[in-house]
């Protein structure tokens, strides 16, 4: 589990100093249903396909 979740969207209500995310949960989506082939198909910069 990640210790720090980063956010560069400074006008988000969960944004905190140092580009930290203070939300209780994180929701990540794929642009193509339940699976994604690569990071460009998600809204997650740390996405890596499961091997």
Residue ranges per domain, the chain?
A: 1-51
Predicted pLDDT at 20: 94
Dump pLDDT digits (tens) for 1-51.
Answer: 778 999 999 999 999 999 999 999 999 999 989 999 999 999 998 898 888
Predicted pLDDT at 51: 84
pTM (predicted TM-score): 0.71
Predicted pLDDT at 15: 95
Whole-number Cα distances in Å, 4 to 19, 31, 36, 41, 42: 10, 25, 24, 23, 20
**DSSP label at residue 30:** B
HSE (side-chain half, CA atoms, 13 Å) at 25: 2
HSE (side-chain half, CA atoms, 13 Å) at 24: 0
């Amino acid at each position: 589990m990640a210790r720090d979740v980063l956010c560069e969207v400074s006008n988000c209500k969960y944004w905190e100093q140092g580009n930290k995310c203070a939300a209780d949960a994180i929701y990540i989506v794929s642009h193509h249903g339940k699976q994604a082939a690569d990071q460009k198909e998600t809204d997650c910069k740390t996405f890596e396909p499961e091997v």
